[in-house]
Structure 1
Amino acid sequence: MVTPVARLRQNYAAEFTRYLIHRDEAAREAAYELGRSSLEDGVRLLDVVLIHHEVVIDALPGMEGPQELANAAAAFLIEVLASFEMAQRAFQERRNTVEP
């Protein structure tokens, strides 16, 4: 059985590679979906960041310049983490509503 973290690692590498080739709305949506499904599967935020780092390191040999890779990696990670951000905000809003 494949763990959620292992599944994310595999899917993250594939979608990031696709994003490097096609930086379009579909690629951004795929990144967002990775984050949403990871959150649902209980993947820790730190695991997501570690996977991101590993995938970026793996992509380095195929890139023309470090700035191009850095910009693409940041944009992709932001899309992936959007679900985590929304969940955190919802949690904080609920917490603020309950506290006197």
Structure 2
Amino acid sequence: MERMFMRKRKRRSFTDEFKQQVVQLYENGKPRADILKEYDLSASVFERWVKQSRTTGSFKEKDNRAEEQNELLAQRKEVQRLKMEIKVSSADLQTAITVIRE
């Protein structure tokens, strides 16, 4: 029986300049399929770059989050801060110092 193995890609990272150059090639008329093949890119990553470039002009995830996502992250951060305050307020002074240092 013949087994088929999927090629596992090593995770790569790309600079913002590279992403912008790839998007610019597409904007200037180079076919999407040619770009994906030439740079060995997945369609989903390429589409995300194009969308980010068109909507915010930034490739940073924090710049491309929906307002609801930003609010959720802020709320989670506030919950963590409040939990820390509760720990500190219910602890004796030495424990509080240890918690703050950690």
TM-score by length of 2: 0.31
Task: Give the TM-score taking structure 1 as reference length.
Answer: 0.31
Q: Which has the higher helix share?
A: 1
Which structure has the higher relative contact order (CA within 8 Å, separation 6+)? 1
Q: Which has the larger radius of gyration?
A: 2
